[in-house]
Amino acid sequence: MKIAVLTRNFSSLFGGAERYSVSLANELSKRHEIHVYCQETNYPIKDITYHSVLRIPHRLRWLNQLLFSLITWFHTRNNFDIVHSHEHVWHGDVHTMHVRSVRTSIFKNYQGFKKVLCWLNVLTSPRHLTYLWLESTRMRKYGLVFVSNQLSIEFSSRYTNIARHHSVIPPGVFFPLALRKREECRHQLNLSNDQIFLLFVANDFERKGLHTLLVAMGKLQPSIMLGVVGHSNKLPIFEKQVHKLGLTNRVKFYGQQEDLSVFYRAADLLVHPTLEDSFGLVVLEAMVQKLPVLVSSSPYCGFIQNLKDEIHVKTIQDPRDSDQLYKLIHRVLNDLPLRNTLIENGSKIALSFSWEEAALRYENVFRQIAKTSAT
């Protein structure tokens, strides 16, 4: 098939949604002709044709979203078997939903006067009106794919006219032929073999719980280090918090990284106290690298529905509670049987999530949509 993929940022340097689109396109490109329409990319896959789309400055994101939708509609309205969008656009055949509903984010569970005030705010906001309209349009499309069951349930509760073709296809991972040696990875990061190294990976530090983790770090023994991988526009705020807590020599910001395997293999524990994750790809990536994981429970992390506490991961019930987080970190680091259980069972369940399987399921969705469109 000739497939158009729509995503503003096509690069594995960004968050889970972007890595999802890159990894899926990589797998599909082995059997199909893939054209990616994007505003930013580091051209990670050689067998894909790239089409650059004009971008409006970041401060006008809602207007940029409309522009992206208009341009991609114009260029993909003909000559493609399937148009697959990872973005808020008004056109396309299959839409993958990566993040929670705009309706949920705006209206939450407000009732009565609060709901009226919220509607007044929406009606005077071009940004809110744009995103609500685009999301509502996507819900009526032929094919919807949700990255987790939790996300599917949320959208179904918000929209009664959801598209008749919808399914859940979680992300996968690429399994390394051999894991990198821990000693070599630690040497690359200038860590001694006996250094305890915690890992935090995210591109939205605030939403993924870094504030709470830094407070918990201040309660842990001074020899424990934390590596923060990813990018945040609010980095200066977190650097200031690190300084205020006296953690300057214990917390290192590594920025965005193309290859995360070095960090997963070098670390002793992935700490992911997320406040909102529709899936939680970093959890899956860490598990396949045999790194134990401490992660927020449901409903904060969608992937948790596939996992069991103290079997596959250790969960934190309240990711805003720094005392609880501190105690759980301390326990996992000092309970060797628990750590071994998490490593063994986590890596086993991770093997059931492959991009090859995800691509096959998408191909089935594409064929169903193409057949429906033809009739």
Cα separation of the two ends of the chain: 18
Report the pLDDT value the prediction gives residue 186, as an integer from 0 to 100: 95
**Mean pLDDT, rounded, of the chain:** 92
The answer as to whether 155 is a domain residue is yes
The answer as to whether 21 is a domain residue is yes
Give strand pairing partners of 162.
none
Report the candidate in 199, 374, 177 with the shortest Cα–Cα distance to residue 293.
Answer: 199
CA distance 308 to 302: 13
Residue bearing the bigger pLDDT, 258 or 91:
91
145 shares a domain with 189 = no
Question: Quick one: tokens of 280?
Answer: 């939680």
**CB crowding 218-254: b at 16 or more within 10 Å, else e:** bebeeebbbbbbbbbeeeeebeebbeeeebeebbebe
Residue 19 three-state SS: helix
362 shares a domain with 280 = no
Peptide bond into 299 cis (omega under 30): yes
207 shares a domain with 193 = yes
The answer as to whether 265 is a domain residue is yes
The answer as to whether 32 is a domain residue is yes
pLDDT in tens, 59-81: 788 899 999 999 999 999 988 99
Angle between helices 235-244 and 210-217 (to 10 degrees): 20
pLDDT in tens, 252-261: 999 999 889 9
159 shares a domain with 12 = yes
167 shares a domain with 142 = yes
CA distance 50 to 300: 35
214 shares a domain with 121 = no
239-259 mean pLDDT: 94
- For residue 55, the one-letter residue type is R
220 shares a domain with 155 = no
Determine the structural domain holding residue 315 and report its residue range: 182-350
103 shares a domain with 235 = no
Report residue 73: phi and psi, to 5°.
-60, -45
Q: pLDDT band at residue 375, thresholds of 50, 70 and 90?
A: low
User: How many folded domains does the chain comprise?
Assistant: 2
The answer as to whether 237 is a domain residue is yes
Report the candidate in 198, 189, 86 with the shortest Cα–Cα distance to residue 144.
Answer: 86
Q: Is the pLDDT of residue 43 over 90?
A: no
233 shares a domain with 114 = no
156 shares a domain with 99 = yes
101 shares a domain with 186 = no
CATH assignment at residue 206: 3.40.50.2000
225-250 mean pLDDT: 94
